């Protein structure tokens, strides 16, 4: 087990108490509204990379996607599966499954991709870009939400942060260039830091990327 996987396993129990994961009912509805605007069609197979405890996977499933959430942390996936039990939408249940997998180990192709605060955990974001490109259908949309913050490793992040060049968040233009080099047709990004209905007010910068294959 890598240090990073062990780190997330340890944090799984309290993960839903952290900003961005402890969503109020109002924040959940705001995220669903935003995601419904961003994705042109809310149907088909969607891959949620680094899904954690499934907070956003379940919101996307409520919108109509057939969601496959993957994470390398077995403890995170266990929590996601428990949260999915009994979660219902008007007219039926949700289409959401969860697997303890790295993104490169998924099978088949997906019509859409979502990730949140995953790219900073990867030493070479281009590797994940290749995985997404190879596992998506033509013109698929990848929505990536990332945070830029004070990049000094401290507390629980002290050890894992030392080995991650993206700790503190990648600059949006850096990621845009990475996506272009790895075969994506177009990338746009915008800040959602001023959306109090989406994110907790703090000094961090919250960025939403739209990456088109």
- In the three-class reduction of DSSP (H, G, I as helix; E, B as strand; rest coil), residue 24 is classed as coil
Distances (CA, A) of 80 to 6, 62, 106, 149, 212: 17, 15, 18, 26, 28
pLDDT of residue 1: 53
CATH assignment of the domain containing 170: 3.40.50.150
Beta strands in the chain (DSSP E): 45-49, 66-71, 88-89, 92-93, 96-100, 110-116, 136-148, 186-191, 205-212
pLDDT of residue 155: 61
For the stretch 38-65, pLDDT in tens is: 999 999 999 999 999 999 999 999 999 9
pLDDT of residue 22: 85
Q: Which domain holds residue 140?
A: 3-212
Tokens of 146: 């990332």
Is pTM, for the whole model, over 0.85?
yes
As for how many domains the chain has, the answer is 1
Residues in the chain predicted with pLDDT less than 70, given as ranges, are 1, 88-93, 151-161, 201
pLDDT of residue 152: 67
pLDDT of residue 203: 77
């Amino acid at each position: 087990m890598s240090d990073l996987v062990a780190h997330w396993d340890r944090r799984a129990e309290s993960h839903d108490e952290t900003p961005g994961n402890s969503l109020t009912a109002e924040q959940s509805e705001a995220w669903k509204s935003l995601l419904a605007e961003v994705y042109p069609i809310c149907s088909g197979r969607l891959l949620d990379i680094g899904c954690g405890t499934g907070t956003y996977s379940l919101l996307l499933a409520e919108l109509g996607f057939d969601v496959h959430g993957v994470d390398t942390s077995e403890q995170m996936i266990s929590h996601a599966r428990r949260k999915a039990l009994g979660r219902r939408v008007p007219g039926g249940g949700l289409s959401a499954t969860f697997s303890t997998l790295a993104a490169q180990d998924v099978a088949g192709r997906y019509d859409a991709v979502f990730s949140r605060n995953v790219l900073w955990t990867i030493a070479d974001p281009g590797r994940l870009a290749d995985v997404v490109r190879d596992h998506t259908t033509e013109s698929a949309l990848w929505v990536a939400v990332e945070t830029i913050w004070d990049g000094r490793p401290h507390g629980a992040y002290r050890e894992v942060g030392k080995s991650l060049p993206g700790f503190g968040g990648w600059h949006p233009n850096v990621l845009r260039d990475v996506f272009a080099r790895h075969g994506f047709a177009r990338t746009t990004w915008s800040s959602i830091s001023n959306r109090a209905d989406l994110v907790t007010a703090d000094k961090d910068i919250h960025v939403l990327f739209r990456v088109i294959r």
